Amino acid sequence: MSEKLLIVFVKNILLGKVKTRLAKTIGDFGAFEVYKELVQITEAETERLDGVTVHIYFSDQIIESKWPNKQKFVQSGKDLGERMQQAFQHGFDQGFTKIIGVGSDLPDLNADLMNEGLNALENSDTVFGPSEDGGYYLLGMKRMINCIFENKEWSTSGLLSTTTTELISKQYSIQLLPELNDIDTIEDLKASSVSDKFKHLYELS
């Protein structure tokens, strides 16, 4: 068994249930199309990984057509912290010693960055991929650190800062990857690498 595990957290691609902030500007169908494209990018990049086991955690139900031949699960927990915590714990319980978790809504998250995150765990207790909004798009650990998931204000601009400050106070080492931006708003979409694909459909300026 590989010592390396990638966990991908995926929202089920349901009309009216994904990218709700973006949908306020471009409508539910537009947001649905954007998220579907981002999931396809994520799936394609994970397929480029070599020597890495991949677990897929869907928000509501398993979709067999996505990530064929990969282990798939349904997320469990009352908030994002619990859902991530349980997925990581399951990975460590299975014997993996380097685990990273990512979302599925970043157009620029590629296999090279995922490998960089895994390799960072050779010399660091944790690794984070900072998001421009103050959160993070990638989290990695080589052993379970529960405080990362507990008593956090999820989806806030201070999440990464609060988390890393706590880890430093507990003497855990941290490595940071390049900053990326996910797509939550029309401004994010316009500034993204997939903007041209949707420019005609959504009349981006």
Q: Residue written as tokens 């944790």?
A: 126
Between 38 and 26, whose confidence is greater? Answer: 38
At residue 170, the pLDDT reads 97
Could you list the residue range(s) of the whole structural domain that residue 69 is in?
4-199
8 Å CB contact between 176 and 130: yes
Rounded to whole angstroms, the Cα distance separating 24 from 31 reads 9
| Res. 183: pLDDT tops 50 | yes
| Res. 204: pLDDT tops 50 | no
Q: pTM, whole model, 2 decimals?
A: 0.93
What angle in degrees, to the nearest 10, is found between the helix axes of 111-120 and 20-46?
A: 80
Would residue 204 count as lying in a domain?
no
Would residue 193 count as lying in a domain?
yes
Would residue 205 count as lying in a domain?
no
CA angle 66/72/76 to nearest 5° reads 120
Would residue 144 count as lying in a domain?
yes
- Provide the domain count of the chain: 1
DSSP helix/strand/coil, 27: helix
pLDDT in tens, 133-169: 899 999 999 999 999 999 998 888 899 999 999 999 9
Length of the chain: 205
Rounded to whole angstroms, the Cα distance separating 194 from 149 reads 31
Task: Report the 10 Å Cβ neighbour count for 29.
Answer: 12
- Among 10, 46, 16, 9, CA closest to 31: 16
Would residue 194 count as lying in a domain?
yes
Would residue 121 count as lying in a domain?
yes
Would residue 57 count as lying in a domain?
yes
Identify the band that residue 25 occupies on the pLDDT scale cut at 50, 70 and 90: confident
Q: Return the CATH number at 90.
A: 3.90.550.10
At residue 205, the pLDDT reads 42
Least confident of 6-10, 29-33, 105-109, 176-180: 29-33
Would residue 55 count as lying in a domain?
yes
Burial of 162 (0-12, 13-18, 19+ CB in 10 A): middle
